[in-house]
């Protein structure tokens, strides 16, 4: 591997947008023409209304790399990692990646689409998620599986919160101390400052399993327990007594949350969690990491948080208290069977502070890939993998324990394919010695429990990536360290009650058939490759192929996050450099790289705020967060999740203090000032989106920051709209203490049909000591990791969605100092150009913002006369905006963001990706839409007309949710498009209007 460059699997010169400088669609002539139309002289003039004391004049980063240089560079970095024969598992086991995953990851219609808000134009994504939900349901036995949550750790926290909601008057969750330590750290970080109490149930030092007697004592003596969370296979590899634990929970009327490894639930594997308990009643919730169902270790992410809950005759309601998105089967208005996001979980955060979770972007595409991969394996594939893994693990135990001083640590406890050895030497030294000999020998688990202190423990994992030869290599390494003096220990037998007896009946489908099927599904979505994808606030810009190429280099994908530091220098370089890149971009001195989405970045920010206030002895006093009403729903949802529940106590407000907008669209600073006069000492911070969700820059931001700092509070800036200001504004000068950068917006990682996203959080000097997770440092040319002095904890077991950091890093390298600025400038120019033209025919919002300079996006609405015409033709005003969104689908475009942040608004964000010609063509369409509505408002009753399905019956979908089907032989049917989107985009506006009218009349 060292020194080689992996060939590209695409032809950049054949792609319309791949080789454009900085991936910007407008050329110099386009830029000059647009500036001229706007009466501006230069790109800098776009920011003339913003005070120069908050601007940066240049971005302190190197010049961009040319395409060829970039290919070489990312290969060189990947080649700095050492890929060795590895026995690392520890909650992120390494299995073979099936041959369908690569091709499915290359389907742009699936990878680059947004969350399936518009079911009529998103059956592709919805169907892939449906398959995932159904197959995970078959594996686990759980009737309801969502698609999906971030990863196992945060998923466990969501499950624990769900238990608190379900068990009346409960406050406490008991967690097994045999769960992975990284997961325990994440849930405890989340629970700090909230009403959730966590009690750890101890291990039995002899068995290496949860101490059931101690658990009984805890349950007998602890009031208000909601649930027990426990692993099926624990962090020593031992299989827990799951039946006893679930029975204990049932008998105590509390919830049981089983944490499992989905791979081990295949045919011939372990018992499904829906069957746990002596009576087979099953656990109440299941939580798992599913990353390895789909992809390789990728230095720890993107992960896939699997969550399931019972949904059967005995319990149809618990599901409504859960977090995450569910795809449900429903019908369109013509009775065609189809899929849609259901249960108001469509976007948890729309319910703001009442949301069950703050999650917005999730790990959708990993779920898609996992579904395809499960079909490629089928029952036979799972069984073969499990048989091989188990057999090799049994042989390994027997062989390795023949060496002097090497013993199976927990001789009486059954394991499946991962086990813990006791060594006669220091484990850490042994691991480094092994690394020098070409082996990643296992994970050091010596210090997991005080009850088992002072022993040298090593955990090894065996899967289908290992051959007999790999085992021989391992044995030979042990042989070079220890004498073979004794008979080996046999692997303890697994009791039959712990094993699966039935089959999940997952069909094994030919890889070619799977790929062709997913390709067809990809065609049912839209991609920003095709043309403007005007979803405001979502920044649907071009996702360069080279980013995916870099992220898929084997030198990155095959790296386990727990490999010795000398083997992961390439990955650490990416993390170090991305820290530096975002310091330069934000102007802030610190960077957190753990958050896997914008909303998680918000939580990271608020948890750092809490740690800061606690450190200053003001933890209890700072109990208010100020948030504008126009904020994205994740802001209030995050504040609530962080522990700022909104309530009135003795006439005093706790939690979220809401700030209204002024008629020009900016926040009402006078209202904030008033509040600070009386309650400043109680303010923990503010959360303000800038530019705001109306596309307007908050010109008083700096003054606001100064006021907040003066009363001891902190400033969070929601950076979802960085695409307008990156490289132009210095956030340090603006007074920002924490800001998230959604990598899946400004920084070009694909949206994946809803995720995975990722977020880099910039932090001010006030918060440097409280940064969660680890920081990468460079010393004498080598990279290492350190933990900040007063770290507020951890939000990810490893380094966030690492593969996405490679994508963002590659993009920023392609931009360099000049490209970052130009990207923002042209994004703003494109939006302002469109706004200038469309505001001549459409009224805009906020109503009194008039011609106030818009940044990267703007909001259109209809005149009162048009609303009246539409109402008179039978479409109520409350439905009109959503229906116009559907009319965009008839023109081959995705809908703008409808009814957010203004109920009667269509928010349009063009980004810098498109040429002036494309912007003009899009404007023609938007104007034609208005003309059509004015002349034939009745068409809104039947929109959309050309998608595979008509409008979805959402009432039916939510009333009687159908969440899975048993997929045992063939794949669910695909309903074809009535007219292909590409054909629609290539038709003239006049032809389309005729086609739409005809289709309307035929309804
Ligand atoms: C303004 C704003 N804030 C926060 C978020 C949440 O980001 P994420 O989806 O990455 O969690 C979004 C996402 O659309 C957003 O537009």
- Choose between 981 and 514: higher pLDDT: 514
**Residue bearing the CA closest to ligand 1, atom 7:** 598
Q: Whose CA is nearest to atom 15 of ligand 1?
A: 720
Q: How far is CA 965 from CA 132, 145, 366, in A?
A: 11, 12, 20
Of 453-457, 515-519, 957-961, least confident by mean pLDDT is: 957-961
Q: How far is the CA of 710 from the centre of ligand 1 (A)?
A: 29
720 lines ligand 1 (CB under 6 A): yes
Q: Is 603 in the pocket of ligand 1 (CB under 6 A)?
A: no
679 C-beta neighbours (distance < 10 Å), count: 16
* Sequence-ordered list of residues with C-beta below 8 angstroms from that of 394, at least 6 positions apart, any chain: 490, 491
Has this prediction a pTM greater than 0.75? yes
664: CA distance to ligand 1 center in Å? 23
Mean pLDDT of 476-504: 97
Question: What SS3 string covers 182-200?
Answer: HHHHHHHHHHCCCCCEEEE
| Whole-number average pLDDT of the chain | 96
What's residue 954's pLDDT?
79
pLDDT per residue as tens digits for the range 819-834? 999 999 999 999 999 9
Tell me the pLDDT tens digit for each residue of 201-211: 999 999 999 99
Residue 955 confidence (pLDDT): 81
Whether 718 is in the pocket of ligand 1, judged by its Cβ within 6 Å, is: yes
When pLDDT is cut at 50, 70 and 90, the band that residue 346 belongs to is very low
Q: Cβ atoms within 10 A of the Cβ of 958, count?
A: 17
Q: Is the pLDDT of residue 349 over 80?
A: no
Quick check: 2 pLDDT over 60? no
Cβ–Cβ under 8 Å, residues 586 and 725: no
> Is residue 34 over pLDDT 70?
yes
Name the residue of 742, 753, 897 to mutate for ligand 1: max ligand atoms within 8 A of Cβ.
742
**DSSP string for residues in 152-164:** HHHHHHHHHHHHH
Predicted pLDDT at 1: 44
Residue entry with tokens 């043309």: 531
How many Cβ atoms from other residues are within 10 Å of residue 489's Cβ? 16
Residue 33, helix vs strand vs coil:
helix
User: Among the atoms of ligand 1, which is closest to the Cα of residue 599?
Assistant: 11
Task: Say whether 771 sits in a helix, a strand or coil.
Answer: coil
Query: Which among 478, 464, 455 is positioned nearest to 397, based on CA atoms?
Result: 478
Best mutation site among 632, 897, 901 for ligand 1 pocket (most ligand atoms within 8 Å of CB): 632
Q: Categorize the per-residue pLDDT at 352 as very low, low, confident or very high, splitting at 50, 70 and 90.
A: confident
Tell me, in angstroms, the distance from the centre of ligand 1 to residue 33's CA: 33
Q: Say how far apart CA 790 and CA 187 lie, in whole Å.
A: 18
pLDDT tens readout for residues 681-690:
999 999 999 9
Give the SS3 label for residue 699.
Answer: coil
The percent of residues in the chain predicted with pLDDT above 90, rounded, is: 94
What is the C-alpha separation between 135 and 327, in angstroms, rounded?
A: 13
Whether 737 shows a pLDDT value over 80: the answer reads yes
Asked if pLDDT for residue 347 goes beyond 70, the answer is no
The structure tokens 């800038």 sit at 690
Residue identifier of the C-alpha nearest atom 5 of ligand 1: 598
The answer on pLDDT for 839 being more than 70 is yes
The CA distance from 946 to 257, in Å, is 45
Could you tell me if the CB of 360 is within 6 A of ligand 1?
A: yes
Query: In which band, very low, low, confident or very high, does the pLDDT at 851 lie, cut at 50, 70 and 90?
Result: confident
The rounded distance, in Å, linking the Cα atoms of 712 and 710 is: 6
Query: Helix, strand or coil for residue 102?
Result: helix
* pLDDT tier for residue 348 given thresholds of 50, 70 and 90: low
Q: Ligand 1 within 6 A of 913 CB? A: no
| First vs last C-alpha separation in the chain | 60
515-531 residue pLDDT tens = 999 999 999 999 999 99
pLDDT at 789 over 90: no
Of all atoms in ligand 1, which is nearest to the CA of residue 721? 1
Q: What is the pLDDT of residues 598-612, one digit of tens each?
A: 999 999 999 999 999
Average pLDDT, stretch 71-94? 98
Longest dimension (CA), the chain: 93
Residue with CA closest to ligand 1 atom 9: 361
Q: Whose CA is nearest to atom 8 of ligand 1?
A: 598
Question: Is the N-terminal amide bond of 318 cis, ω within 30° of 0?
Answer: no
pLDDT digits (tens, 9 = 90+) for 931-944: 999 999 999 999 99
Residue 347 to residue 360: CA distance in whole angstroms: 6
Instruction: State mean pLDDT over 943-969.
Output: 91
- Provide mean pLDDT across the span 781-792: 95
The residue-averaged pLDDT of 159-183 equals 98
Contacts 24+ apart (CB under 8 A), 894-900: 894/114, 894/118, 894/121, 894/526, 894/533, 894/534, 894/535, 894/540, 895/117, 895/118, 895/121, 895/534, 895/535, 896/534, 896/535, 896/536, 896/860, 897/535, 897/536, 897/537, 897/538, 900/537, 900/693
Q: Which atom of ligand 1 is nearest to the CA of 537?
A: 16
The rounded percent of the chain whose pLDDT value lies above 70 is 99
Q: Is the CB of 742 under 6 A from ligand 1?
A: yes
Q: Kindly state the average pLDDT of the residues 971-1000.
A: 92
Average pLDDT over residues 112-133: 96
Indicate if the pLDDT at residue 12 is higher than 60.
yes
CB 114 within 8 A of CB 538: yes
pLDDT at 345: 52
598 Cβ inside 6 Å of ligand 1: yes
Tokens encoding 874: 């039978």
pLDDT given for residue 231 in this prediction: 98
Interval between CA 61 and ligand 1 midpoint (Å): 27
What letter does residue 622 receive in the DSSP assignment? Answer: -
pLDDT at 274: 98
Going by pLDDT thresholds of 50, 70 and 90, the confidence category of residue 3 is low
Tell me whether residue 888 is exposed, middle or buried, using C-beta atoms within 10 angstroms of its C-beta: 0 to 12, 13 to 18, 19 or more.
buried
**At CA 625, angle to CA 620 and CA 627, rounded to 5?**
175
């Amino acid at each position: 591997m060292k020194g080689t460059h992996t060939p590209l699997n695409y032809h950049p010169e054949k792609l319309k947008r791949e080789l454009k400088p900085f991936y910007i669609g407008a050329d110099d002539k386009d830029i000059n023409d647009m500036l001229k139309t706007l009466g501006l002289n230069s790109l800098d003039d776009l920011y003339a209304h913003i005070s120069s004391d908050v601007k940066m004049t240049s971005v302190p980063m190197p010049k961009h790399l040319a395409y060829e240089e970039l290919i070489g560079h990312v290969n060189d970095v990947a080649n700095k990692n050492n890929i060795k024969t590895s026995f690392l598992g520890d909650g992120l086991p390494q299995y073979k990646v099936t041959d369908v995953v690569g091709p499915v990851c290359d389907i742009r219609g699936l990878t680059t689409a947004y969350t399936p808000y518009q079911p009529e134009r998103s059956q592709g994504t919805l169907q892939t998620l449906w398959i995932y939900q159904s197959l995970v349901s078959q594996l686990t036995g759980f009737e309801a599986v969502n698609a999906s949550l971030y990863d196992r750790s945060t998923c466990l926290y969501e499950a624990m919160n769900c238990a608190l909601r379900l068990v009346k008057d409960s406050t406490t969750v008991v967690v097994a101390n045999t769960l992975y330590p990284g997961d325990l750290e994440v849930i405890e970080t989340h629970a700090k400052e909230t009403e959730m109490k966590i009690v750890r149930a101890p291990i039995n030092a002899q068995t290496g399993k949860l101490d059931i007697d101690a658990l009984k004592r805890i349950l007998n003596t602890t009031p208000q327990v909601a649930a027990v969370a426990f692993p099926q296979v624990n962090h020593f590899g031992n299989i827990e007594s799951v039946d006893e634990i679930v029975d204990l929970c049932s008998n105590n009327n509390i919830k049981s949350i089983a944490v499992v490894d989905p791979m081990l639930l295949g045919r011939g594997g372990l018992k499904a969690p829906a069957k746990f308990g002596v009576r087979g009643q099953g656990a109440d919730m299941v939580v798992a990491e599913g990353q390895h169902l789909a992809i390789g270790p990728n230095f720890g992410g993107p992960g896939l948080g699997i969550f399931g809950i019972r949904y059967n005759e005995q319990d149809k309601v618990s599901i409504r208290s859960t977090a995450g998105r569910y795809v449900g089967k429903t019908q369109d208005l013509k009775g065609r069977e189809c899929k849609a996001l259901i249960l108001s979980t469509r976007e948890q955060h729309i319910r703001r502070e009442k949301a069950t979770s703050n999650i917005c972007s999730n790990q959708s595409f990993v779920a898609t890939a996992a579904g395809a991969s499960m079909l490629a394996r089928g029952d036979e594939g799972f069984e073969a993998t499990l048989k091989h893994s188990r057999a090799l693990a049994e042989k390994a135990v027997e062989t390795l324990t023949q060496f002097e001083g090497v013993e199976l640590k927990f001789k009486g406890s059954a394991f499946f394919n991962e086990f813990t050895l006791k060594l006669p030497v220091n484990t850490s030294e042994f691991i480094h010695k092994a690394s020098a000999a070409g082996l990643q020998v296992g994970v050091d688990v010596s210090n997991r429990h005080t009850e088992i202190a002072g022993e040298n423990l090593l955990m090894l994992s065996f899967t289908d990536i290992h051959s007999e030869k790999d085992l021989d290599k391992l044995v030979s390494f042990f042989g070079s360290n220890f004498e073979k003096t004794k008979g080996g220990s046999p692997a303890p037998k697994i009791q039959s009650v712990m094993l699966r007896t039935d089959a999940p009946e997952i069909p094994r489908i030919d890889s070619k058939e799977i790929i062709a099927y997913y390709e067809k599904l990809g065609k049912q979505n839209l991609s920003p490759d095709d043309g403007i994808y005007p979803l405001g606030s979502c920044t649907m810009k071009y996702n360069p192929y080279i980013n995916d190429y870099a992220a898929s280099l084997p030198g990155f994908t095959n790296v386990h996050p727990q490999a010795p530091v000398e083997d992961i220098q390439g990955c650490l370089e990416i993390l170090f450099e991305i820290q530096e890149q975002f310091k330069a971009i934000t102007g802030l001195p610190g960077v957190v790289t753990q958050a896997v989405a914008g909303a998680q970045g918000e939580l990271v920010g608020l948890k750092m705020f809490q740690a800061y206030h606690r450190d200053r002895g003001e933890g209890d006093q700072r109990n208010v967060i100020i948030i504008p009403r126009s904020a994205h729903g994740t802001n209030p949802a995050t504040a609530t999740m962080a522990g700022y529940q909104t309530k009135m106590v003795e006439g005093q407000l706790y939690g979220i203090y809401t700030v209204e907008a002024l008629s020009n669209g900016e926040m009402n600073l006078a209202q904030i000032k008033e509040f600070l006069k009386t309650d400043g000492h109680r303010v923990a911070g503010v959360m303000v989106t800038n530019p705001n969700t109306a596309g307007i820059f908050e010109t008083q931001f700096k003054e606001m920051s100064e006021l907040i700092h003066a009363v001891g509070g902190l400033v969070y800036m929601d950076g979802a709209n960085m695409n307008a200001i990156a490289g132009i504004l210095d956030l340090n000068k603006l007074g920002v203490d924490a800001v998230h950068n959604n990598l899946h917006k400004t920084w070009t990682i694909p949206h994946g049909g809803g995720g995975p996203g990722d977020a880099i959080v910039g932090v001010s000097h006030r918060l440097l000591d409280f940064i969660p997770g680890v920081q990468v440092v460079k010393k004498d040319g080598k990279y290492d990791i350190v933990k900040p002095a007063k770290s507020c904890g951890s939000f990810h077991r490893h380094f966030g969605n690492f593969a996405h950091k490679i994508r963002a890093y590659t993009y920023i390298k392609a931009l360099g100092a000049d490209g970052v600025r130009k990207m923002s400038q042209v994004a703003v120019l494109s939006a302002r150009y469109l706004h200038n033209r469309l505001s001549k025919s459409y009224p805009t919002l906020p109503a009194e913002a008039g011609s106030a300079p818009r940044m990267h996006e703007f909001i259109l609405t209809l005149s009162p006369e048009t609303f009246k015409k539409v109402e008179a033709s039978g479409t109520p005003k409350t439905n009109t905006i959503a229906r116009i969104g559907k009319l965009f689908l008839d023109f081959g475009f995705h809908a703008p963001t409808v009814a957010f942040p203004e109920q009667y608004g269509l928010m349009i964000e063009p980004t810098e990706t498109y040429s002036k010609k494309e912007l003009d063509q899009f404007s023609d369409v938007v104007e034609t839409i208005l003309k059509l509505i004015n002349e034939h408002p009745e068409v809104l009753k039947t929109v959309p007309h050309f998608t595979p399905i008509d409008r979805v019956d959402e009432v039916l979908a939510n009333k009687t949710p159908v969440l899975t089907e048993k997929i045992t032989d063939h794949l669910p049917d695909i309903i074809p498009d009535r007219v292909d989107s590409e054909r629609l985009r290539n038709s003239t506006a006049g032809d389309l209007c005729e086609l739409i009218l005809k289709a309307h009349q035929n309804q």
